[in-house]
Chains A and B, each alone.
Chain A
Amino acid sequence: MNIRKNIAVIGVLITFFCFYNFLIYTSKEKETPVKLSKKAIKGQKIWQDNNCWSCHQVYGLGGYLGPDLTNIYSTKDSNYIKAMLNSGIQSMPKFSFTEEDKEAIVAYLKTIDSTGYYPNYEAIIKPNGWVELKYKDEK
């Protein structure tokens, strides 16, 4: 196949790709975007440093050994989360988080909880295969 034609097709695709990426990188998520506080960012760092994603999921993304934690903050309370953190229950490692660390993780999970629902029980499944998600900020 003609090399120029190939380069032209790739050029068109890359142009769309750049435009598409620009929109994704700069667009705000639905309605009011939720911003992580300094404390929540610290919690996010603790989450990453301890590989919490290895076992736990957020929005169904992550590991399968532990439960999904997207809405753990609203289904349980912060004391429950703090109690679980150092419990070493089942396959969970025995962590020794300080009270400050626990507060930071709770702040991170609280922010995640405020972004949406998972599982999204109130989503509407359309006949064309589309799913209309229920957003957290919808009234």
Chain B
Amino acid sequence: MAQGRDDHGGIEDLFPDDAGAETSPEGSAARSDADPAATVASTDRRRRPAKKRRLSVVGVAGELLITAGVLVLMFLGWQLWLDDQLSAPRLKNEATGLSQQWDKDAQKPTAAPSQPASDISQNPPVQTAPKNAERFALLAIPRFGTDFYRPIAEGVSVSQVLNKYEVGHYPSTQMPGDIGNFVIASHRSAYGGALHRIHELEVGDHIFIETQDGWYQYSFRNLEYVKPTGVGVLDPVPQQDGVAATQRLLTLTTCNPFYSTAERIIGYSVFDKFTPRADGPPKEIAATVNGGS
């Protein structure tokens, strides 16, 4: 400890009581050779250069650079990890709020078309496309945990939608429940990182899209990796340009690998069934939908 303080020179004068209690062989040898007056003089001499060092431009610049480096690392840690952890509960609360608002709206007499239940399950209602950046749906994926509940907004503008922590809907693609392809995009990390764990999806995993009308259940089928230019994934029949769609698909798109934009990872799902809002949420996501209130 005494040796460590000695190395820092200037700090020694913070501990005047310790000054005589040097235990290192170097220090005691130096002291025993000199008379008391010389020791005081040498201490003074040692202090003066230390004060000069404190004021040196290079020293201050170095400390500022180290500080800047630490700040950059902290920012990256915040952006790529901590912010996603902190924003997940907030986004879930906002999703829950929207779901409850839709519950209230559904109780008004004008809502909900009266179709036979068996019919509506396989021929779900299709909404008209909302305005840009407007939230119109919610995403729940049980594989990502019961706490995973995110708003989906119209558009995939990075500045207006995706960097606002939203999951975005490609406006050129179909709406949920429509025959064709409902394609959504999200960041893999940062800005909520909704699809961070897309690679953990397994065949048959259910993915739920909630709208004002109810819940659209899709089953996950497969992953595909494409280049950032791979717009074929947006086709009504993915990768088959001009072919007329017969199926209802949900496609997730995000970045791959982690912390890179070199590729896109694509997750395809097929439509299972629709549950009208009046029937309440499907059991699998009941805890997600009702839990946040």
A and B interact physically: no
Q: Which residues of B contact A (CB under 8 A)?
A: none
